[in-house]
C-alpha cells in the first residue's frame, strides 16, 4: 500500500514525543547514544543487504543489464555523485531547511511570545517553535526522506520503516528537552514525504529490473547513511541522490 511508510513514520514521531514528554528525563544520555549507534549499525547492514540483493537480481536479468550489472552500479554512483555535486543538492536541501525554519517563525501560533511566557519551558514560548523547527529539519531534510518516500510510493515502505525507527528514538530525546513542539513536526513529515510518495505512486509500476537497480544503488546510499550514524564516516549522501535515477534510466535502456 503506497504511503504506509509515511503513516508509520508519523505514528512513531507522535509516540516518541509522548514517551519523551512523560519519561524522557529518566533516560540517560549514554543510553540514547548507544541506541543511535545500534540503529546506525542496523542501517549499515540493511543497506548492504539491500544493495547486494539488488545486484544479484540485476545480474540474474537477461540482456546487457545482467552482463554489466556491476558497471551499472558503479557508473550510476559515480555519475550521480558528480551530477549531485554540480547541482549542489545538499546545499539546496540546507536552504530548504532554512526556508522551513523561516516559515515556522512567521506563523503567529508558533512565533515566540513575550519574555514572560518565552522563559517558561515545555509547551510555551520559544521552546515550542524550537522543538517544531529542530524536529522538522531533522526528520524532513535528508537523503533517506527522499529515497524512502520514492520507494514507499512504489510499494516498498522498508526504508521509511527504518527511518521511522530512527525518528521515533530521536523524538524521545528531543521532546524530553524541547517539549511538545516536536510532535508538530508530523505536519511537514506528512506533507513532504506524503507528496513524494504520491508522486512516485502516480508513475506506472516499474519492471523488476528497474526495482533491482533502485535497490542496488539505493541500498548503497542507505549503507552510507549507516556509516554516518555509527560515527565511522560522513559521506555527501544528498549529492549522490541522482544515482538512483541514473540507475533507473540505465536499467530501462539495458533490460
Residues 32-44 have a mean pLDDT of: 82
Beta-carbon count within 10 A of 216 CB: 29
Grid cell locating 245: 535515477
pLDDT at 247: 92
Q: Residue 101's pLDDT is what?
A: 66
Collapsing DSSP states into helix, strand and coil, what is residue 159?
helix
If you search the block for the grid coordinates 515556522, which residue do you land on? Answer: 104
Predicted confidence at residue 167, as pLDDT, reads 92
User: SS in 3 state form for 56-95?
Assistant: HHHHHCCHHHHHCHHHHHHHHHHHHHHHHHHHCHHHHHHH
Summarize pLDDT for 55-79 with one digit per residue, the tens: 999 999 888 999 999 999 999 999 9
Strand blocks (E) in 199-244: none
**Cell output for 224:** 552510507
175-192 pLDDT, tens digit each: 887 888 889 889 889 999
Amino acid at each position: 500500500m503506497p504511503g504506509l511508510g509515511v503513516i508509520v513514520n508519523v505514528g512513531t514521531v507522535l509516540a516518541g514525543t509522548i514517551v519523551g514528554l512523560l519519561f524522557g528525563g529518566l533516560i540517560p544520555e549514554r543510553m540514547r547514544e548507544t541506541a543511535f549507534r545500534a540503529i546506525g549499525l542496523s542501517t549499515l547492514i540493511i543497506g548492504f543487504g539491500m544493495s547486494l540483493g539488488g545486484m544479484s537480481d540485476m545480474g540474474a536479468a537477461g540482456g546487457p543489464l545482467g552482463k554489466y550489472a556491476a558497471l551499472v552500479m558503479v557508473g550510476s554512483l559515480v555519475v550521480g555523485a558528480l551530477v549531485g555535486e554540480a547541482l549542489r543538492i545538499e546545499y539546496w536541501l540546507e536552504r530548504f531547511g532554512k526556508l522551513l525554519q523561516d516559515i515556522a517563525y512567521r506563523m503567529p501560533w508558533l512565533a515566540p511570545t513575550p519574555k514572560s511566557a518565552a522563559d517558561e519551558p515545555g509547551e510555551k514560548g520559544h521552546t515550542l517553535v524550537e522543538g517544531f523547527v529542530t524536529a522538522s529539519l531533522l526528520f524532513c531534510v535528508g537523503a533517506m526522506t527522499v529515497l524512502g518516500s520514492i520507494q514507499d510510493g512504489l510499494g516498498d515502505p522498508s526504508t521509511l520503516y527504518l527511518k521511522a525507527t530512527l525518528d521515533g528514538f530521536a523524538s524521545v530525546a528531543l521532546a524530553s528537552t524541547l517539549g511538545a513542539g516536536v510532535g508538530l513536526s508530523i505536519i511537514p513529515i506528512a506533507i513532504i514525504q506524503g507528496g513524494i510518495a504520491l508522486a512516485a505512486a502516480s508513475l506506472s509500476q516499474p519492471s523488476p529490473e528497474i526495482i533491482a537497480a533502485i535497490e542496488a544503488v539505493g541500498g548503497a546510499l542507505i549503507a552510507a547513511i549507516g556509516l554516518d550514524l555509527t560515527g565511522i564516516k560522513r559521506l555527501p549522501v544528498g549529492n549522490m541522490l541522482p544515482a538512483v535515477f541514473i540507475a533507473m534510466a540505465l536499467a530501462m535502456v539495458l533490460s
